Chains A and B, each alone.
Chain A
Amino acid sequence: MQDLQDYPTLNFQHLDTLWLQVTGTLCNLACLHCFISCGPKNDNHPMMSLSLIKDTLKAAATQGTREYYFTGGEPFLHPEIKEIISLTLAQGPLTILTNAILIDDEMASWLAKTFEDSPYSFDLRVSLDGTTPEENDTIRGRGTFVQIIAAIERLVGHGLNPVITVTTCHAELAADEGRQKFIELLKAHNITQPRLKFLMPFKIGRESRRKGGEGCYTPAERLYLEDVPDPNSDHLQCDSCRMVTAHGVWPCPILIEEEGARMSDALEDSLHPIKLNYSACYTCHVGGVSCKT
């Protein structure tokens, strides 16, 4: 048992960002680097019902929440995704993290219209893990590069400009040269305003089992009190976000499969200080990672 005394505490400031695990851990893909082992058969966290989403949005409104993020799993697996998007956008800006593969032409057109009509920003973040099929497909699965690029083309064709999210499993992808390759790839697909986000991998979930367990955190990769001496430090996203799934509330999108990280049933009961006692916290702290765009 960990001695929680040894870990830094982080105070809660305000609910700026609410994350919703709308489809739980269900995904059409099963990427090797997924930090929550999502996949077609993982219903550890099931889909959120429309009524739970409505209640959660109401609770968020009373907290003065600024913006919303959907993730999964794959949000576009949700049969009521359009209604969920509309409800959320009526309340504030929304970003959806997706692999985009399920976004067909009809959906792309609806999303573009929704973007046009909404006073608040509506953003899509599409994950792509390489500039070639070889690079991407070894992580995201065979054939996915072609499918993701096709989906990006559909979105761009309807006038949307998604942020391309790259997990830097291949470290060189984040370097200038790797970045330039992505910019060129996007240009070749008619994206004149390239938007990119690079994310360090979290060595938990399926990612920890990649490369035969080599990807795990070592015991030394953790935070100590002196790493975050000020509980009001503002460099970590979890001082201003929470994640809601069908099973309750978690501090952030990263820890929903970590034992002991669940905070409460109701959103309003989770707005208090947390202990940074997970290995993933080390990545956030050292890498300056934020899941927000």
Chain B
Amino acid sequence: MSYISVGERIAIFGGVYNNHLSLAALKQDASGRGATTMICLGDMGGFGPSPDKVFPLLQNDPNMFVMQGNYDHSIGNRLEDCACGYTDPRDNHFAQISYDYTAANTSDHFKDWLRDLPTEFRFEFAGKKVLCAHGSPRKVNEFLWESNSSDIFLDWVLDQFECDLLFVTHTGIPWLRHLPSKDRWVVNVGAIGRPANNGEKHVDYMLLSTDSQGKPHVEHIALHYDYEALAHEMREEGLPEEFVETVLTGWWTTCLEILPAKERAKGVY
């Protein structure tokens, strides 16, 4: 188990998807809010431009803890695809474009780094046990969507993995759930690499701190960054216009089949 020691304000984020511009913005924004620890829940590649640009922002920082997502596992181990398991041929087509692009443009030493990353973090915070995982604590590529994760199930997960606060990513859409039975929380931090299919151009992360009574407090932060510059870079790199559209509009255009009915109904496509 990877126990880490953390500060009093912690920025927790995931789903970088090659977006080095939002990652740089996140570091600035979180520091500005007094965060002294940053935790990245993985999925560095996919979707955006120039994969190698994100690694200098993540490495060699004693206050930055980075874990491996499914994408990082695939890229690090030089696998053929991202193992996202889409069945729709159109989704597969676009997923493969970003995967092949990311694999071809990630340097070998960064691939090795991705391969060797830890897969979970644990720490104590305000007397509570915190667990960070990529998809879910039991499976790296399990999707915890807000609308298809019952309280009953989440309580079971927290019991199984002995924690009071659980942070995950992997779906790209943020949510927070308070579980009243034992006063616990499950938080999906969303993604900083791509907007959350809500028509907004910003991306999302979470800030963990304590409230006036010394209890853990999780704040959802809308992170603004230069998305037009990102769209420009994506076009320069010849990435599909469908991806650029998402950056410019805040609506997902591909890989929609995995969305549960509720999340799907909120989008345009």
- A interface, size bucket: 20 to 34
Q: Nearest Cβ in chain B — how far from A68, in angstroms? A: 9
Residue from B148, B150, B256, B260 whose CB has the most chain A CB atoms within 10 Å: B150
Q: Please, which residue of chain A has its CB at the minimum distance from the CB of B260?
A: A121
Q: Please, which residue of chain A has its CB at the minimum distance from the CB of B150?
A: A92
Contact B148 A66 (CB under 8 A): yes
Give the residues in chain A near B87, CB-CB below 8 Å.
Answer: 198
Q: Nearest Cβ in chain B — how far from A157, in angstroms? A: 15
B229 part of interface (Cβ distance < 8 Å) = no
Taken together as a complex, chains A and B put the C-alpha atoms of A176 and B265 apart, in Å, by 25
Contact B260 A64 (CB under 8 A): no
Give the residues in chain B near A65, CB-CB below 8 Å.
Answer: 150, 152-153
- 11 other A-B residue contacts (CB within 8 Å) besides A92-B150, A115-B265: A61-B152, A64-B156, A65-B150, A93-B148, A120-B148, A121-B262, A123-B260, A193-B264, A193-B265, A193-B267, A195-B257
B43 part of interface (Cβ distance < 8 Å) = no
Which residues, 68 to 124 on A, are CB-close (under 8 Å) to B?
A: 91-93, 115, 119-123
B127 part of interface (Cβ distance < 8 Å) = no
B155 part of interface (Cβ distance < 8 Å) = yes
Give the B-binding residues of A (Cβ under 8 A). Answer: 14, 16, 61, 63-67, 91-93, 115, 119-123, 161, 176, 179, 192-193, 195-196, 198, 234
B56 part of interface (Cβ distance < 8 Å) = no
B147 part of interface (Cβ distance < 8 Å) = yes
Give the residues in chain B near A234, CB-CB below 8 Å.
Answer: 139
A-B contact pairs, 19 of them (CB 8 A): A16-B153, A64-B157, A65-B150, A65-B153, A66-B149, A67-B148, A67-B150, A92-B150, A93-B147, A93-B150, A93-B260, A115-B261, A115-B262, A122-B261, A176-B89, A193-B267, A196-B88, A198-B87, A234-B139
Q: Which secondary structure characterizes the binding site on chain A?
A: loop
Which residues, 28 to 87 on B, are CB-close (under 8 Å) to A?
A: 87
Contact B89 A91 (CB under 8 A): no
Contact B89 A179 (CB under 8 A): yes
Contact B264 A120 (CB under 8 A): no
Q: Can you list the 9 inter-chain pairs with the closest CB atoms, starting with the nearest?
A: A64-B156, A92-B150, A66-B153, A121-B147, A121-B260, A123-B261, A93-B148, A121-B262, A121-B261
Give the residues in chain B near A122, CB-CB below 8 Å.
Answer: 261-262
Partner of B147, one of A61, A64, A120, A198: A120
Contact A161 B264 (CB under 8 A): yes
Taken together as a complex, chains A and B put the C-alpha atoms of A161 and B262 apart, in Å, by 10
Give the residues in chain B near A196, CB-CB below 8 Å.
Answer: 88
Q: Nearest Cβ in chain A — how far from B220, in angstroms? A: 17
Give the residues in chain A near B148, CB-CB below 8 Å.
Answer: 66-67, 93, 120-121
How does the 8 Å CB contact mask read for B152-174 relative to A, with 1 for contact and 0 for none?
Answer: 11011101000000000000000
Contact A92 B262 (CB under 8 A): no
Which residues, 106 to 156 on B, are CB-close (under 8 Å) to A?
A: 139, 145, 147-150, 152-153, 155-156
Taken together as a complex, chains A and B put the C-alpha atoms of A192 and B253 apart, in Å, by 12
Give the residues in chain A near B264, CB-CB below 8 Å.
Answer: 161, 193, 195
Q: Nearest Cβ in chain A — how far from B243, in angstroms? A: 19
Contact B261 A64 (CB under 8 A): no
Residue from B149, B257, B262 whose CB has the most chain A CB atoms within 10 Å: B262
Given contacts A121-B262, A161-B265, contact A91 B257 (CB under 8 A): no
Contact B89 A64 (CB under 8 A): no
Residue from B88, B156, B256 whose CB has the most chain A CB atoms within 10 Å: B156
Taken together as a complex, chains A and B put the C-alpha atoms of A258 and B88 apart, in Å, by 32
Contact B261 A91 (CB under 8 A): no
Q: Nearest Cβ in chain A — how far from B16, in angstroms? A: 27
Contact A66 B150 (CB under 8 A): yes
Q: Please, which residue of chain B has its CB at the minimum distance from the CB of A67?
A: B148
Q: Please, which residue of chain A has its CB at the minimum distance from the CB of B265?
A: A161
Contact A92 B256 (CB under 8 A): no
Give the residues in chain A near B153, CB-CB below 8 Å.
Answer: 16, 64-67, 92
